Amino acid sequence: MEIRPIFSALMRSKVSMVLIGLQVALTLAIVCNALFIISQRLEQMNRPSGMNEADTFTFGSTGFGQGFDAFATQAADLALLRQMPGVAAAAPTNSMPLSGGGWSTGVSLQPQQKTPTTSTTIYIVDSHAIDAFDTQLVAGRAFKPEEIERKDFGDRLQPRVVIVSKALGDALFPNGDALGKEVYLGEGPPTATIVGVVDRLQQPWTNSDTIENAMLVPAFMPYGTSTRYLVRTEPGRRDEVMKEVEVKLAEANTGRIIGRMRSMEETRRNAYSQDRAMAIILGVVIVALLGITALGIVGMASFWVAQRTRQIGTRRALGATKADILRYFQTENFIITTFGLVLGAILAYGFSLWLMDRYQSPRLPWHYVPIGFLCLWALGQLAVLGPALRASRVPPAVATRAV
Amino acid sequence: MLKMTHLQKVYRTHLIETHALRDFSIHVREGEFVAVTGPSGSGKTTFLNIAGLLEEFTGGEFRLDGVDVAGLDDNARSKLRNEKIGFIFQSFNLIPDLNLFDNVDVPLRYRGFAAADRKKRIEESLSRVGLASRMKHYPSELSGGQQQRVAIARALAGSPRLLMADEPTGNLDSLMARGVMELLEEVNRQGTTIIMVTHDPELAARAQRNVHVIDGQVTDFEEAPKLRDPGAPARGAEAVAANG
């Protein structure tokens, strides 16, 4: 290998080497961190909410006019929904995973505990909730109809029983024995007994630190004159049932407005729209950066081939084969790229530390940089291939041509 | 050493054919110093390119050190060129970004010599041209004459059987030209065959034998070699111009 003389020659024209090296370095640093951010976003976006998203939809009902009876309307609506063809389950709920808005409270293990043990979201539901969410009960039982308390909006929730997500149960009782234990909600006594544990149910907020902590609280509690319903349909019938429900409920009670029907898939799309946009933008940045870097290498190599035509001819005259010339330019590119990549590795980790410090983002996993190394090496070799092949086709007779 | 018989070189475009060499025959024996002269455009450089395996020919026969080069592929020609021929160019053709050591090293690396062998050869050949002390210098730090000496060192480092010199003093002043010619004569005395293309009659006169080329044909040649050095080994020479 001709590494030493090529390196020596490069040292005589440092500017080009440094410029392309810096470009490669910045590309590696940015691409590694951008890819990591994209992977984090994709990971977040792909987290399961714990509920059946394919067959569920939600909508609100808001009454108007004097004498509107929210409790009666809710009961009538639920009765109507549950007997409609295609509806597998329906339940009232104040919120749902991914919706972006809901209630939360601290949960303590002791009365008057100064700092709650953890926090959770509260889904105010009835005895059909587990069926409507289609979440898996891993311990205990669902709510009984008699456990559903009627509450006016603004009343303090004092449930005697609750169902928790497994993550919340484990956060409260790390030994995994949450079932049957008593907890304190918010301001303290009385206690609520955990009667059921569901495998998973996320909070409405996608960026919450305790996103997996959720609690089902049994209550009929309309939000003033508004109620939100969660409907699960038989598989494959969601869109059809959504239209039907909108018509039937509007007809059933003209003293209220039925809000827009929103599938959980749409809710998920909305919940992660910013993350998706971020991933797309970063993806475009990565592609653009790699493209610019590749073009930079192509440009530099093409310039060098044109500049060194006589030198290439001389090398050929002195015995270099076409393969030797090809190898020369590939080795030269390898050296420049390696120089850039070493610098880029330092920059990549430095950039990651800055992101950690500034935005509390996780540390860049170590394997991103070596993978980036390999990709940029390959990109460099690919980019230089065209000019190098052109160089290899320079005839040796060029050496004797007049300047 | 080198024998061309009825050699043809035709450059073709879709409109015209240019006969750069026609029915060109020459025989250079080992140890000779032959000057190839002729006016511009006569075919001297085409002859040099073909003789140096830098270019292919379109007809006739060419044997280099007994090897019929007509059927050789590009790799085989490169290998033969590297092993048998040393080149000296009018513009020196040193690589400006390499120091003298690395410049002389270029053909040796392609030859595949081991590092220690290369180092020894480089040091010896630079010593031979009087530039051993400037190995780490770059071509731009040398005079034209010194650069051509480096080019001669590069050409000699691989111990070639044949040295092809293309107007070796064309870019030098008379003093430097004389020095380079003396060096070439010294190299020839030590047994290396030299073919020198030049348009300078004075330089040509210093060769053992002159071959004059006009319009791609050998028009004149000297039958017997001039012996410069009575003590030098006997050298045969024969130039055949089929059409001369």
Q: Are A193 and A159 in contact (CB under 8 A)?
A: no
Closest by CA position to B208, among listed B240, B238, B241, B173: B238
Nearest to A321 among B78, B93, B96 (CB): B78
CB pair distance less than 8 Å for A400 and B45? yes
Q: Which residues pair with A103 in a beta bridge?
A: A122
Residue B67 domain-assigned (yes or no): no
Q: Mark yes or no for CB contact B74/A9 under 8 Å.
A: no
DSSP string, A260-296: --EEHHHHHHHHTHHHHHHHHHHHHHHHHHHHHHHHH
Q: With a CB-CB cutoff of 8 Å, which residues 145-164 of chain B face chain A? A: 154, 158
Place of tokens 């002390």: B133
Range name among A376-380, A397-401, B116-120, B138-142 with the lowest pLDDT average: A397-401
Contact A329, A389 (CB under 8 A): no
pLDDT computed for residue A113 by the predictor: 85
User: Looking at the predicted structure, is the pLDDT value of residue B188 above 70?
Assistant: yes
* Closest to B38 in 3D by CA, of B243, B241, B178, B201: B201
Name residue B35's beta-bridge partners. B196, B210
3-state class (DSSP) for residue A333: helix
B89 touches chain A (CB under 8 A): yes
| pLDDT over threshold 80, residue B118 | yes
CA distance B37 to chain A (A): 16
Residue of B nearest to A310 (CA): B93
The β-bridge partners of B64 are B2, B67
Chain B residue closest in CA terms to A395:
B54
pLDDT at B1 over 80: yes
Instruction: Collect all residues with Cβ–Cβ distance below 8 Å to B96 and sequence separation of at least 6.
Output: A12, B138, B139, B140
- Supply the pLDDT for residue B200: 85
Report the residue of chain A nearest B154, measured CA to CA: A318
- pLDDT value for A211: 96
Confidence label for A147 from pLDDT (cuts 50, 70 and 90): very high
Task: Please tell me the total count of domains within chain B.
Answer: 1
Map residue A114 onto helix, strand or coil.
Answer: coil
Spatial separation of the C-alpha atoms in residues A86 and A238, rounded to whole Å:
8
Query: Cβ contact (<8 Å) for B99 and A8?
Result: yes
Residue A118 has pLDDT above 80, yes or no: yes
CA–CA dist B188, B229 (Å, integer)? 11
Cβ count near A117 (within 10 Å): 17
pLDDT, mean of residues B199-222: 86
Of B49, B95, B111, the CB nearest to A319: B111
Residue of chain A with shortest Cα separation from B78? A319
> Is-contact B30 B163, C-beta < 8 A?
no
| A-chain residue closest to B155, CA distance | A318
Mean pLDDT over all residues of chain A? 93
| pLDDT beyond 50 at B232 | no
Q: What is the pLDDT averaged over residues A331-341?
A: 94
Q: Kindly determine whether residue B87 and residue A320, on different chains, have CB atoms separated by under 8 Å.
A: no
- H helix intervals, A46-187: 70-83, 129-133, 166-172
User: How high is the pLDDT of residue A336?
Assistant: 93
- Better pLDDT: A362 or A284: A284
**pTM of the predicted model, to two decimals?**
0.80
Cα dist from B94 to A365, B50, B183, B215, whole Å: 48, 22, 18, 31
How do residues A77-107 score in pLDDT, each as one tens digit? Answer: 999 999 999 999 999 999 999 999 999 999 9
Nearest to B236 by CA among A189, B244, B228, B227: B227
**Whole-number percent of chain A with pLDDT over 70:** 99
**Under an 8 A CB cutoff, do B93 and A320 touch?**
no
Average pLDDT over residues B158-162: 93
Task: Please tell me the least confidently modeled range out of A115-119, B100-104, B167-171.
Answer: B167-171
B22, part of any domain: no
pLDDT in tens, A175-212: 989 999 999 987 767 789 999 999 999 999 999 999 99
Residue A157 pLDDT > 60, yes or no? yes
User: For A324, which of B55, B110, B166 is closest by C-beta distance?
Assistant: B110
Answer yes or no: is pLDDT of B89 > 60.
yes
Cβ neighbours of residue B87 closer than 8 Å, sequence gap 6 or more: A317, A318, A399, B52, B93, B151, B155, B163, B164, B165, B166
The complex scores an ipTM of 0.89
* Closest CA of chain B from A5, distance in Å: 7
Query: Is residue B189 one of the residues assigned to a domain?
Result: yes
What percent of chain B lies above the pLDDT cut of 90? 69
DSSP H or E run through A165: strand A161-165
- Quote the percentage of chain B above a pLDDT of 70: 90
How far apart, in whole angstroms, are the C-alpha atoms of residue A198 and residue A101? 21
Please give the residue range of the domain that contains residue B150.
33-56+72-210
Is residue B216 within 8 Å of residue B4, measured between CB atoms? no
CATH number at residue B188: 3.40.50.300
Quote the pLDDT of residue A402.
65
Quote the minimal CA–CA distance from B223 to chain A in Å. Answer: 29
* HEC string for chain B: CEEEEEEEEEEECCCCEEEEEEEEEEEECCCCEEEEECCCCCCHHHHHHHHCCCCCCCEEEEEECCEEHHHCCHHHHHHHHHHHEEEECCCCCCCCCCCHHHHHHHHHHHHCCCHHHHHHHHHHHHHHCCCHHHCCCCHHHCCHHHHHHHHHHHHHHCCCCEEEEECCCCCCCHHHHHHHHHHHHHHHHCCCEEEEECCCHHHHHCCCEEEEEECCEEEEECCCCCCCCCCCCCCCCECCCCCC
pLDDT (0 to 100) of residue B243: 35
Q: What is the pLDDT of residues A236-263, one digit of tens each?
A: 999 999 999 999 999 998 889 999 999 9
Q: What is the mean pLDDT of residues A329-353?
A: 94
Pairing of strands A214-220, A118-125: parallel
Contacts of B109 in chain A (CB under 8 A): 2, 5
Question: Minimum mean pLDDT among A374-388, B49-63, B91-105, B214-228: which range?
Answer: B214-228
Instruction: Name the nearest CA neighbour of B110 among B132, B135, B90, B85.
Output: B85
- Contact B113/A at CB under 8 A: no
Q: Residue A395: what pLDDT?
A: 95
Whether the predicted pLDDT of A1 surpasses 80 = no
Assess whether pLDDT exceeds 60 at residue B161: yes
Answer whether A8 sits within 8 Å of B55, measured CB to CB: no
- DSSP symbol at A257: E
Give the pLDDT mean for A366-385: 94
Q: Would an 8 Å CB–CB cutoff place B137 in contact with chain A?
A: no
Residue A360 corresponds to which amino acid?
Q
- Predicted local distance difference test score (pLDDT) of residue B220: 67
**A221-225, A329-333, B222-226: which is most confident:** A329-333
Is B108 domain-assigned? yes
What pLDDT was estimated at residue B233? 40
Torsion angle (degrees, nearest 10) of CA A108, A109, A113, A114: -50
Q: B52 touching A, CB under 8 A?
A: yes
pLDDT of residue A188: 65
**B97 occurs within a structural domain:** yes
Which residues have C-beta within 8 Å of that of residue B91, sequence separation ≥ 6? A310, A403, B171
A6 interaction partners in chain B (CB closer than 8 Å): none
Cβ–Cβ below 8 Å for A8 and B102: yes
Residue A173 — pLDDT band, cuts 50, 70, 90? very high
Q: Region B170-197: what's the mean pLDDT?
A: 90
Say whether B95 and A314 touch across the interface (CB within 8 A): yes
Question: Angle B78-B83-B88 (CA atoms, 0-180°, nearest 5)?
Answer: 85
Test mutation, B21, B57, B100, B110, chain A, max A CBs within 10 A? B110
| Residue matched to tokens 């073909």 | B50
Other Cβ atoms less than 10 A from the Cβ of A295: the count is 11
Is the pLDDT confidence value at B50 over 80? yes
Chain A residues contacting B via beta carbons under 8 Å: 2, 5, 8-10, 12-13, 310-311, 314-324, 395-397, 399-400, 402-403
- For B95-115, b/e burial (b = at least 16 CB within 10 A) is bebbbbbbbbbbbbbbbebee
pLDDT in tens, A49-72: 999 999 999 999 999 878 888 889
Q: What does the pLDDT read at residue A221? A: 84
* pLDDT of A400 strictly over 90: no
